[in-house]
Chain A
Amino acid sequence: MRITAEELSWSVAGTPVVRGVSADIAPGETVGLLGPNGSGKSSLLRCLAGLRAPDTGAVRYDGEPVRDWSARRIARHVAFAAQDPGADSDLKAADVVGLGRTPFRDRWHGPDATDRAVVAAALERVGLTALAGRSWKALSGGERQRAHLARALAQQPYALLLDEPTNHLDVRHQLELMELLTGTGQTVLVALHDLSLAARYCDRLLLLHHGRLIASGTPAAVLTAERLAGVFEVDAELTTDALGHPAVTYRGPLGTPAEASRPTP
């Protein structure tokens, strides 16, 4: 499914957070959303997921404006996973994943055979089958993160919008999760902090700074030393890693005296 943002602006308590962002995410594309803390990544994701009504501009799914869609209709099209959806819940992992079936269930009936099969498949894909019966409280941060991805997958969406899903994950699970995302064939928009991970797995990157979209394109085109200096305030070097992907080497934060004393790699 194609997701289009047209001149999106959104502010909270009078402070603009997203400023005139226009972007187009093609069907099947994996797009990374980058930017420093407070650059508006989460807010842009929420606008695109229909969770915030933009002040101006429009969000379109396959060309159709979603402003008047019901929450349920949106939930049948896109799935959203928040960054740290911590909850003091006693639900079992499988029940949390089962929440993903909410937009397809009516109020009178419990989960049916289809729901159970979809949940089992989603758990399988994130490698949590063995923990299906474990209480949410007893899951580690990484396991919760994967359970939330499985919950999003159980929504069987046309597009996945994920806010830093690699938080709390160890290296192996980060790689597994990114391969899983790119392997779905679904449209994926994923906010990431790890630039190298983004460069390695995303078809395209969007770079946000102070709520504005300042660059968009292939990882090699977006990630340049000048931009990283201007946006992230780091002294970084862009190289190509052994697998041919752009890789970022950080020399240090810009504007601190530590630069001189830090050993250069």
Chain B
Amino acid sequence: MFLFLLAALALAGSVAAATRIGTSGVGWAGLARVLGAHLGLDVEPLPPLTDSLIWDLRLPRVLMAALVGASLAVCGTVLQAVTRNALADPYLLGVSSGASAGTVTVVVLGVGAGALGVTGGALAGALLSFGLLLLLLRRTGLDSGRIVLTGVVVGQLFTALTSLVLMASADADTTRAVTHWLLGSMAPARWDTVVVCAIVTPLGLVAAWLCSNALDGLAFGADTAASLGIGVRRTRMLLLVVTAALTAVAVATVGAIGFVGLIVPHGVRFLAGPLHRVLLPYAALAGAVFLVWTDAMARIAFAPREVPVGVITALLGVPLFLLVLRKRGEL
């Protein structure tokens, strides 16, 4: 419990510190003044331009990074247990491919551009692909291998559709913009999307955490889990819906940020042990801290040019992942 509070404090500290950093940095005092002014305290506000930069752009972006990082890490942990596959990540279900297809449909073809916008298009695509996944999985026992295979098939279909639309209709600039989004970037985060995430993410995390016992039991196969009183099919379905919802909301706003959902679960399992009751909360915190800092790096490393955060997570993630595998004697 003490460790967990410490980790939570580390996250709060990371969020504050990352909010200070960027093309126009502010001191701790400046940050306090921005927060104070917007919370209605009697402090002298910063100049409007700086204030807007911190409050309207950077703070939602950092909070978004924390929420998305927590979501992705928890989704990865859950899907690794449900599919009994160490390589499972949040995009295994094909939801991100669905979101990409939705995005290019809106951005390139202009379908529903007014009504949906990019985020709405991505969300619609994600839900469509997940609906197709469930349709293909209906009347099966939702066993691990079938989930993985069906997810890959659905993902491939929507990836092909994305490429088709891009190649057939997009000009160079649009392709470049969409590619940037596909690699994942926190830049589009604003307060309205943060609020959606701030509602969906905690609900999803708690729902997943309440399935901790089932997640532990599922490691020993469906029969053993069922003999422990776990409603295997129902639990798997619930967890698929929860992870798909979390992933869809994240991907719709900031694109498919790779690697967080794959490496953070393994790293945290190494430190916190494999019991999901303990593992899931730490994975959420670690994922949040990891993405807050990698996003900060994406902003400042090649400033003023910004690198997609997905590139940084992979560059940092690969060596970390290798280190964990080495320590566990699996490489």
Contact = CB atoms under 8 A, between A and B. Distances in A.
B269 A90 contact: yes
B224 interface: yes
Interface string B55-80: 00000000000000000000000000
A112 B210 CA distance: 17
Contacts of B220: 85, 87, 89, 96, 99
Interface in B14-30: none
Interface stretch (A76-84, A206-214, A237-245): A76-84
A110 B232 CA distance: 20
A91 B217 CA distance: 10
B275 interface: yes
A89 B84 CA distance: 9
Given A82-B223, A85-B220, A102-B217, A91 B275 contact: yes
A51 B210 contact: no
Contact of A85 (B214, B224, B231, B273): B224
B140 interface: no
Given A90-B269, A91-B275, A110-B277, A102 B230 contact: yes
Interface size range of chain B in the complex: 20 to 34
B132 to A, nearest CB: 26
B274 A102 contact: no
Interface string A60-99: 0000000000111111101111100101111110011001
B227 A95 contact: no
Nearest to A84: B221
Contacts of B213: 99, 102, 105, 107
A87 B85 CA distance: 11
B217 A88 contact: no
Contact of B227 (A51, A73, A105, A108): A51
Interface in B253-284: 269, 273-275, 277
Contacts of A76: 229
Contacts of A90: 269, 273-274
Contact of B221 (A87, A108, A110): A87
Interface size range of chain A in the complex: 20 to 34
B219 A51 contact: no
B216 interface: yes
Contacts of A95: 216, 274-275
Contact of B223 (A46, A74, A88, A99): A46
Contacts of B226: 51, 71
Contact of B230 (A46, A49, A71, A82): A71
B228 A102 contact: yes
Contacts of B229: 70-76, 102-103
Nearest to B231: A71
Nearest to B234: A71
Given A74-B229, A80-B227, A90-B273, A99 B217 contact: yes
Nearest to B328: A90
B144 to A, nearest CB: 12
Contact of A75 (B86, B214, B223, B227): B227
Nearest to B277: A110
A29 B46 CA distance: 81
A100 interface: yes
A99 B232 CA distance: 15
Nearest to B235: A71
Contacts of A49: 227
A135 to B, nearest CB: 9
Given A51-B226, A75-B228, A85 B221 contact: yes
Interface string A162-202: 00000000000000000000000000000000000000000
Which 7 pairs across A and B sit closest by C-beta, in order of nearness?
Answer: A75-B229, A103-B229, A72-B229, A80-B227, A90-B274, A102-B228, A107-B210
9 contacts: A76-B229, A80-B227, A81-B224, A82-B224, A85-B224, A90-B269, A95-B216, A99-B217, A107-B210
Interface of B: 84, 86, 210-214, 216-217, 219-221, 223-224, 226-232, 269, 273-275, 277
Given A82-B224, A85-B221, A92-B273, 13 more contacts: A51-B226, A71-B232, A85-B223, A87-B221, A88-B86, A88-B219, A91-B216, A95-B274, A95-B275, A96-B220, A99-B228, A102-B229, A105-B213
